[in-house]
Amino acid sequence: MAENNHQFADVGNLDEFYELVEPLNFACGWRNRQPDGGSFRSPYRTAHWKYSDSRPALDAAAKLISAEDAVRRILMCVNPIPGIRPSVAPTLFHAYQMVLPGETAPSHRHPMHALRVILDAEKMYSVVEGEKMLMETGDVVLTPGGMWHSHDHDGDDLAYWLDGLDAPFTGALDLIIFEPHPDHYEPVKVVTEASPFRFSWVHIQKMLDAAEDDPEGYFAKRVRLDTSSMPTLGAYVQRLGASQATRRYRTNANVSFAPMQGSGVSIIEGEEIRWNRGDIFVAPSWRWIEHRPDGDSVLFSMTDEPLLRFARYYKFEGE
């Protein structure tokens, strides 16, 4: 031991010490010490992506590349900070996707959990583990990780939706892999409208009708969609009445919002986001959040809250 460490015997100052210790692949904790205090601050920014921007871009892309060649014709939402993989927050990923009438996006599977918020579609289907389920305007459809899935369009009009995945979290674990189906297209075993992986717009509205207002005023009427098959992601839908502003709150969970109906303004850490149906905006960890709808509105939200609760990291604070 003395022989291995003799180089430190005559170190006279910290600069010399750092030069000796770094080649040994050590880092000095006192040089990277986090400041004291109870505040969180994510480098991710509050950001906003518009459905009105994505649609013409996807329409143009469809003239240049097929769903077959693209595998998934998507526009990924990228938080505007340098040096990151496509993501909206450290654990959350979103993308806009479009499928043409008659197209089928080939079957594949991956470890990432995924959900779809259907923006505009009729007679659009997902095939998940052989179950062909409808996904139409206003629906929320789940695809738990590890399941074969494809997207099959039997309708006459273009289909658009918003994908949500836990891909950044999976990537941090170095577990991302995409496996194409050996038959290219997974065989359909059954066609159904009712599935535990599909929350239809009608069903969501019935859930909201039966829900009570949040007595503290943070969420108005809000319901949780059952994402227990995808334990890293939580999904909520809240209904806001005309001029029903919510109280400010913040959480160390990352939260994205997708308006399913209506328009309005959300204020994230003092920054105003003017949103419309089909947009997506994100409130990274520990940002103050409040919503001010123009009229009756419905907001979908996706969050890593279940992951934080599992790890006993979760915090919430309201005014």
Which stretch of 34-43, 49-58, 299-308 has the lowest confidence by average pLDDT?
34-43
Give the span between the Cα atoms of 85 and 91, in whole angstroms.
11
Which pLDDT score is estimated for 7? 85
Confidence class of residue 1 from pLDDT cuts 50, 70 and 90? very low
Residues 75 and 156 in one domain: yes
Domain boundary among 202, 237, 256: 202
- 142: in domain: yes
User: Is the same domain home to 62 and 198?
Assistant: yes
* Closest-CA residue to 79 (of 237, 259, 274, 256): 256
Mean pLDDT of the chain: 95
Q: The domain spanning residue 159 has which CATH number?
A: 2.60.120.10
Tens digits of residue pLDDT in 191-205 = 988 899 999 999 999
Distance CA 79, CA 223 (A): 27
Residues 71 and 142 in one domain: yes
Which of 202, 226, 247 is where one domain is finished? 202
Mean pLDDT value across residues 161-172: 98
One domain, residues 196 and 57 = yes
Tell me how far apart the alpha carbons of residues 247 and 289 are, in angstroms, rounded to a whole number. Answer: 8
Q: Report the domain count for the chain.
A: 3
Judge if 268 and 215 occupy the same domain: yes
Residues 188 and 295 in one domain: no
Q: CA-to-CA distance for 277 and 52, rounded, in angstroms?
A: 9
Whether 21 and 53 share a structural domain: no
| Domain range for 117 | 47-202
Closest CA to 227 of 98, 77, 116, 148: 116
State residue 40's pLDDT score.
75
Average pLDDT estimate for 146-151: 96
Residues 279 and 168 in one domain: no
Same domain? For 53 and 176 the reply is yes
| Chain segment 222-257, per-residue pLDDT in tens | 999 999 999 999 999 999 999 899 999 999 999 999
Q: What separation in angstroms does the CA of 3 have from each of 70, 172, 208?
A: 59, 39, 71
- In whole angstroms, give the CA distance from residue 49 to residue 275: 9
The predicted pLDDT at position 4 comes to 58
pLDDT band per the 50, 70, 90 thresholds, residue 281 = very high
User: pTM (2 decimals)?
Assistant: 0.93
